[in-house]
Chains A and B, each alone.
Chain A
Amino acid sequence: MVPLSYYLLLSGILFACGVTGFLIKRNIITIFMSIELMLNGVNLSFVAFAAHWHALAGQVFVFFVMVVAAAESAVGLAIIIAVHRTRETLNVDQVNLLKL
């Protein structure tokens, strides 16, 4: 028996790690991986709540989150390839044409 709050804490810590990586990382691929980490943290809380409230719909939502993550990573990695082709860098600091 594991308290629900332990699962939520682990999920929150994983999400926070994802946010931190998103903010401090400079490589565009690693930033993208941080987003996946955030989605994983949310998925864990979905499954924990599903088990807690005895509602299977939570597990179906995880399935949908995974589908959206797969679509997002396919498009995102294609964008990364396009950025690398035009700018020839993966550093987000050098992709600054829209910056004031």
Chain B
Amino acid sequence: MSIHLILFLMFGAVALAGAINLLAQTHPINSALSLIAVMAALAGEYLLLGAEFVAAVQVIVYAGAIMVLFVFTIMLLNAGVEERTKGSRVAVLIGIPGMLLGSLLVAWVLLRHSGTEAVAAGALPGAPKVIAPLLFHEFLLPFEITSILILIAIMGAVVLASKPTVTGGSPQKAQEEKVNQ
């Protein structure tokens, strides 16, 4: 058993435990923290594959920025423990066997037909120095388009999350505000 396989299994176990914990927890903040654990473990997997830049961005953007946004929203909305509602019985009766069957099929196909050749750890350098020419020459147009996407997303977020004005908001709300005043 090589050190790479041991490290893969270690990070994979952490990622898996985090993903299952995300499903098991009822409070959103616990789910958010386990999602951060999943993302950190995945950054370890990326490092194992030699993708240094992606691993760094994973920690900075995903585990850092995006999850801070989530935790901030949970705090802002004072989200409490989730109320469980009963799903339909048919979904449980058909869904769980179907899901098991599907996952077994996928696992069988992957293990049987995707070849046993190993991924050489670190064989492909993913340092920023190697990524940058690709990003700024070959993928320059998509890169610029994503900047427009981000701009639109920022404007959309500001418009959606800003407090509705008295004229723009629902009449009921406006009336309530008037009564309060």
Contacts and interface: CB of A to CB of B under 8 A. Distances in A.
Interface in A54-99: 54, 56-57, 59-60, 62-64, 66-75, 77-82, 84-86, 90-91, 93
B146 interface: yes
A63 B135 contact: yes
Given A13-B19, A26-B83, A47-B49, A56 B153 contact: no
Contact of A66 (B23, B57, B103, B126): B57
Given A40-B39, A51-B51, A9 B70 contact: no
A78 B42 contact: no
Interface string B54-86: 100110011001100110011011010011110
A60 B124 CA distance: 13
Interface residues of B, number: 82
Contact of B70 (A32, A57, A93): A32
A82 B45 CA distance: 37
A8 B45 CA distance: 12
Interface string B89-120: 00000000001000100110011001111111
A29 B146 contact: no
A90 B51 contact: no
Interface residues of A, number: 67
Nearest to B153: A71
B149 A78 contact: no
Contacts of B161: 77-78, 81-82
B150 A71 contact: yes
